[in-house]
Amino acid sequence: MPSRKRPSKLLRCPTCGTLVSAGGEDFPFCGDRCRKIDLGKWAMGVYKITSPIVDPEVLEDLGGAGKDRRGGTSGDRE
């Protein structure tokens, strides 16, 4: 039986919101990937915006979401 220990804290990964137990290698992030993403966010100044999910793939999706308006592929009117 494991000896009494302080109950491990659970925090949410600042990047993706996954529950992470304190003391992990990449704490407070769920993994190396999220830690790097977080660094990248700071670098890009994304932290100004409060966004619950910031993931490279999601960012790509967001970027592509506006292509209806400003997409130059098919030409608006000719």
37 contacts Zn ion (rule: CB under 5 A): no
The dihedral over CA atoms of 43, 44, 45, 50, expressed in degrees to the nearest 10, equals -110
**C-beta of 30: minimal distance to Zn ion in Å?**
3
Q: Measure the CA–CA gap between 21 and 11, rounded to whole angstroms.
A: 6
30 sits near Zn ion (criterion: CB under 5 A): yes
Residue 15 interacts with Zn ion (CB under 5 A)? yes
Q: Which residues contact 37 (CB under 8 A, 6 or more apart)?
A: 15, 54, 55, 56
Residue from 9, 26, 34, 73 binding Zn ion (CB under 5 A)? 34
Of the candidates 13, 35, 38, 54, which one interacts with Zn ion according to CB under 5 A? 13
Q: How far is the CB of 78 from Zn ion (least distance, A)?
A: 45
